[in-house]
Amino acid sequence: MLEDLTLRIFQTLERELSKKGILLVDQLPSLITKLEDAIAQDAKERQALGDDQLKSDRLGQRAFPFLKLLKASLKKEEVVVWGV
């Protein structure tokens, strides 16, 4: 399930999930907005369905650390790089 959520996060950001990658500073504001919007939409849909069973697999819970990283990188004006 976690792999599915990771893939969903990257699909939300319109990015390919790969072993290596970079997010540039000028891309961060739109990526943050896309992720925040997706988290809000996921929460809204779960509330409408009364989804209590899958609380541990909600998008916001899994995306929060990544969202925090994106915001910190934007604040420091640093790129996000992985797999180097």
Contact 7, 17 (CB under 8 A): yes
pLDDT in tens, the chain (84 residues): 456 888 889 999 999 989 999 999 999 999 999 999 999 998 888 777 775 555 556 788 889 999 999 999 999 999 999 998
Per-residue confidence (pLDDT) for residue 65, from 0 to 100? 92
Phi/psi for 53 (5° steps) reads -70, -35
